[in-house]
Structure 1
Amino acid sequence: MSALENHTWSHRLDEVDLEELSRLYLLAPLGDKPPEALATVFGNSRYLCFVHAGDVLVGAGRVLADGADCAYIADVAVHPEHQGHGLGSGIIRKLVELAAGHKKIILYAAPGTEAFYRGLGFRHMNTAMAIWSDPQRAVDIGLLRPED
C-alpha cells in the first residue's frame, strides 16, 4: 500500500475547515491566506482537491478553469510533515486529471521548483506576463523579472 492510500481525498469545500486550510498555507509555507479569502478563491474555483491524514488536513489545491480553453492550477499546499512522500505530486496529478480537456493547463512555480513540475509534464512558457498587486515583492521573491 502506498503512502497516498492512507489519505482521504475530497473535492468539496463544504467538507473543509477554512481555519485549518488557512493554517496549512502558513505551515506549507505559502503565506498568510485568511479563511475568508480562501472561501472566496476556492468557492470560485472549478476543481478542488483536499487531502486528510486521519482528521488532519495535509494537502490542498484548486483549479480555476473555463471549461475548454484555459485551466490554472493554484494554491497547492502540502503540510511539511507530509512533504517528500508523493502527496504534492498526487495533488497535481489529480488536478491535471480534473482539468483534462482544456487546451492549456497553467501554473506558477515557486523559484527552484521548476524541475519538480517538469517531471509532472509542465513546460516553461516563453510568453507569460503578469500584473501583480505588489510587483516589487514579486521581483524580490523571484516571481517577476526586474524591469530593464
Structure 2
Amino acid sequence: MALEWSDSTDDMDWDELSELYRLAPLGNKSPEMLTTAFSNSLFKCFLRENGRLVGVGRALADGVDCSYICDVALLPSHQGHGLGAEIVGRLVELSRGHRKIILYAVPGKEAFYRKFGFERMATAMAIFEDQSLARQRGYISDG
C-alpha cells in the first residue's frame, strides 16, 4: 500500500471527496458544501493511495480555546486497518494546545474514540437540520 498524507486542499477533486463521504458512509455532502467546510477548517488530513483519495478528516479550530474534530471518513475497503485511528491521531496532535478538543462521533463508535482520551460530555447539545432523523439515528435523545 503506497500511502501519501497531505493537509492541502490544493488540487482537491471535490467530487471525489463527495463520493468518499457517500461510500464511507457519512451521508451525501455536495462538492460545494465540502469546499466550504474544508476551506473553513483550520486542520485537514487527507490520505491517498496511489493518487486515489481513501481517507479524510478535519478540525474546526480557533487556535486557542476549542478544536472540533469532525468528518473522519475512510473508504470501506480501507476501514479496519488502523488508518482511521491514524487520521484521528494526526488531528488530535494538530489540535494540541487548545483548551479542549471536541469530537462528534457516529453513535456506536464511542469506544474507538475513547482510545484517544475522549470522554462523553454531559452537557453537549445540538440543533440538527432534521431533528427527528437525528433522533432516529441516535445522535440525540429525549433524556
Calculate the aligned-residue CA RMSD, in Å. 1.1
Q: Give the alignment's TM-score, normalised by structure 1.
A: 0.93
Runs of 4+ in 1 over 6 A off after TM superposition: none
Question: Structure 2: which amino acid aligns with 1:100?
Answer: R
Q: Does 1:49 align with 2:45?
A: yes
TM-score norm. by structure 2 comes to: 0.96
The one-letter code sitting in structure 1 at the alignment partner of 2:106 is: A
CA distance in structure 1 between the aligned counterparts of 2:105 and 2:57, rounded to whole angstroms:
13
Which of 12, 16, 19 in structure 2 is aligned with 1:20? 16
Measure, in 1, the Cα distance between the counterparts of 2:94 and 2:114: 19
CA distance in 2, matches of 1:132, 1:30: 15
Is the aligned partner of 1:109 residue 2:109? no
- Deviation, structure 1 residue 15: 3.4
Identity %: 55
1:75-128 deviations in Å (ceiling 9; x for gaps): 100010000000000000000111110000001111110100011211111111
CA contact (8 A) 2:21 2:29 kept: yes
- Which amino acid is 1:113 matched to? K
Would you say how many aligned residue pairs link Structure 1 and Structure 2?
143
Matches within 5 A, 1:125-144: 125-144=121-140
Q: Which runs of 5+ in 2 are unaligned?
A: none
Distance 1:143 1:129 in 2: 10
Q: Is the 8 A contact 2:48 2:55 kept in 1?
A: yes
User: How far apart, CA to CA, are the structure 2 residues paired with 1:14 and 1:32?
Assistant: 22
Is residue 2:77 matched to residue 1:81? yes
Distance in 2 (CA, whole Å) between partners of 1:23 and 1:52 is 14
Structure 2 equivalent of residue 66 of structure 1: 62
